[in-house]
Amino acid sequence: MRADRTGPPRGRQKEADRNDERVLRAAREVFAELGWNAPVSEIARRAGVGMGSLYRRYPAKEDLAQALRVESMNELTDLARTAMADHADPWTALTAFLRAAMSTPITSSLLALIGGRLPATDEVDAADDRLRRALDDLVQAAHRSGKLRPDFSSADIPLLLNHLNVRLPTSSERAIELKLRYLDLLVAGLHTPAQPDEQPTRAPDWTELRTMWNAP
């Protein structure tokens, strides 16, 4: 036995990571279909793991939901940073980010499903802060370019994705096609300056967004 080996063997760790990915993917699907009261047994069944394995990793449904929150925020942060790195034009970066977010399963809305049910944790707060800073950078650059209407805030983005990401009774490919269609229509409106006689509504901020997410 090698004296310098620490932790579980690499193969076992890879398998554990794959199981975790399957569990989180299944949890997102099951929550989206059945809501908060979805049985954990259905998540385990779809993930192809035993209940014992699932409970060792996530002792309660709340632990699983918190992990989903963190994963979703981290993945959106990565998409935002990638869009900014790939596109020098701020408006192109913003629209590329929105299309990428709508084309992936990570934006199946958790806010409507579990918002207000769970307390904030240090890990959730850290993921929230990373996402806020990434979206602030994305939106502020688009504002400076003069191509984004000034009453649009970074906190609008998670709510926009939530509204566009309803479940549709059609194939996943057609659902994404339709969502991108409506995203394109919405983006055209974001590109248009507010009219002089338009009565602007109050944009959300991150304090309001956190209030929606976290249990009182």
pLDDT in tens, the chain (216 residues): 444 445 555 666 777 778 889 999 899 888 888 888 899 999 999 999 999 989 999 999 999 999 999 998 999 999 999 999 999 999 999 999 999 998 876 655 677 778 888 899 999 999 999 999 999 999 999 999 999 998 899 999 998 888 888 777 888 888 888 888 988 988 888 886 655 666 667 788 889 888 888 887
- DSSP code for 37: T
CATH class of 1-59: mainly alpha
Q: How far is CA 70 from CA 12, 75, 106, 133, in A?
A: 24, 9, 11, 15
Residues 126, 69: contact at Cβ < 8 Å? Answer: no
State the Cα–Cα distance between residues 43 and 65, nearest whole angstrom: 12
Pick the CATH number of 62-213 from 1.10.357.10, 3.20.20.60, 3.30.590.20, 1.10.1740.10: 1.10.357.10
Domain ranges of the chain: 1-59, 62-213
